[in-house]
Amino acid sequence: MKSLPLLGVLAFLIIVTTSIHAQQSAEAEKIRDISPDGKFAMRILYDGETNKQLIEGENIDPNKIFSETIKAIELVTLPAKNKVLELLPSDDVGTNYDNITLVWSLDSNWCAFY
């Protein structure tokens, strides 16, 4: 009888560990559009597993990031990758972002996101 609660706790820990691992493995990031001075860049956070499945289903460029998988687009410092600014408002997640671009001035003092 004492082993029944122990089995329940063990099953719970296995389920929680599997769930956490699945969430971590799905997250992916792409760093691009680096500033001329190399201090800043755009980071795209997306669901890597879903994006991979969509790429295989469409049979297209393996570097494509589908809009529906994007979770956030941020301006980050390099090399630390600390977030400086959210470029994509949270209420715009899932919007069409096929041709997003971050353009830098030559002196890295300003940028334009479109």
Q: Is 108 left (phi over 0), alpha (psi -120 to 50) or beta?
A: left
Q: How confident is the model at residue 22 (pLDDT cuts 50, 70, 90)?
A: very low
- In sign, the C-alpha dihedral spanning 106, 63, 88, 21 is negative
* Residue 43 and residue 65 in contact, taking contact as beta carbons nearer than 8 Å: no
Distance CA 99, CA 64 (A): 10
Q: For the segment 75-89, what is each residue's pLDDT rounded down to a tens digit?
A: 999 999 999 999 987
* Residue 111 and residue 102 in contact, taking contact as beta carbons nearer than 8 Å: yes
Q: For the segment 44-61, what is each residue's pLDDT rounded down to a tens digit?
A: 999 999 999 998 888 788
